[in-house]
Amino acid sequence: MEETIKKNERIERTALVTGAGRGIGRAIAVRLAKDGFDVVINYHSNQQEAEATEALCHEANPDIKTLLVQGDVSDEADVQRMVEESTAAFPAIDVLVNNAGITRDNLMLRMTPEDFDAVLRSNLRSCFLMTKFVGRLMLKKRYGRIVNISSVVGLHGNAGQANYAASKAGIVGLTKSTALEYASRGITANAVAPGFIETRMTEVLSEEIKKQMMSRIPAGHFGHPEDIANAVSFLASEQSSYINGQVLSVDGGMQ
């Protein structure tokens, strides 16, 4: 009897994951569902992918609820609407994972200002907007976990990725500033910096680049989206309450 009561006692908490239709975002959404969170699944252009993520979340944990929200996370009106849709369905947003991101790689001399702006917009402005509008709810509730997906490229730079590296380094500054502004209200903000993870973002890279990358990874293999989801799961939990403004590299020891 006691066992049954414990099993049914799920603390209702909600996590919103951006860019959760595939890759790392999908793995994070599924992991947080497994952890017992209701999950808001943001997607941009592909509803089918998002529905597949939703199905995987329910498979991982039949007790949780999900909500699909379509929108461009770099657009202020879309962000406001998505937050409204989320709060109409759930009492709060306890965990925000800013995962959505794009690349537009090129050497600096060939990189267009348009490609520079597009990457900064999708990767960095999006984190600012989501943090601003979801952060308001967290401030009222005096609880929150914000996890931003940066990159090792934001810590070390990468030839051919000046725009991407700048956006991911910017996320580190944004994360640390958020941590300072929100710490007194029970909210933490941390970043995860993935190394080379096998997703659609990296499958387009040439074999030569992959070989170069592999030579820098002492673990001897590329990472999987679940490796990132494991780290996010901890930072999204109550156990991480005294960890704030940090950047956790998940990169197989990449040098």
Whole-angstrom distance, CA of residue 124 vs CA of residue 17: 15
Per-residue mark of binding to ligand NAP, 150-189 (x: CB under 6 A): -x--------------------------------------
From CA 231, how far away is CA 152, in angstroms rounded? 15
**Residues 216-255, interacting with ligand NAP (CB under 6 A):** none
Given candidates 13, 15, 17, 25, which one binds ligand NAP under the rule CB under 6 A?
25
Of 13-21, 86-94, 155-163, 235-243, the window that binds ligand NAP (rule: CB under 6 A) is 13-21
Q: In what order do the strands lie in the sheet with 95-98?
A: 66-70, 38-43, 14-17, 95-98, 144-149, 187-194, 247-250
48: contact with ligand NAP by CB under 6 A:
no
Q: Measure the CA–CA gap between 177 and 196, rounded to whole angstroms.
A: 26
User: By CB under 6 A, how many residues form the interface with ligand NAP?
Assistant: 30
Picking from 127, 126, 154, 121, the residue whose alpha carbon sits closest to that of residue 247 is: 154
In the list 33, 100, 165, 232, the residue contacting ligand NAP (rule: CB under 6 A) is 100
**Candidate residues 197, 229, 236, 254; the one interacting with ligand NAP per rule CB under 6 A:** 197
**Shortest Cβ 43–ligand NAP spacing (Å):** 6
Torsion of CA 43, 239, 246, 203, to 10 degrees: -40
The stretch near ligand NAP (CB under 6 A) out of 20-28, 33-41, 81-89, 111-119 is 20-28
Out of 43, 164, 182, 242, pick the active-site residue: 164
Q: Which residues pair with 168 in a beta bridge?
A: none
Kindly compute the dihedral angle of the four CA atoms of residues 169, 170, 176, 180, in this order, to the nearest 10 degrees.
170
Binding site for ligand NAP (CB under 6 A): 18-19, 21-25, 42-46, 72-74, 99-102, 122, 126, 149, 151, 194, 196-197, 199-202
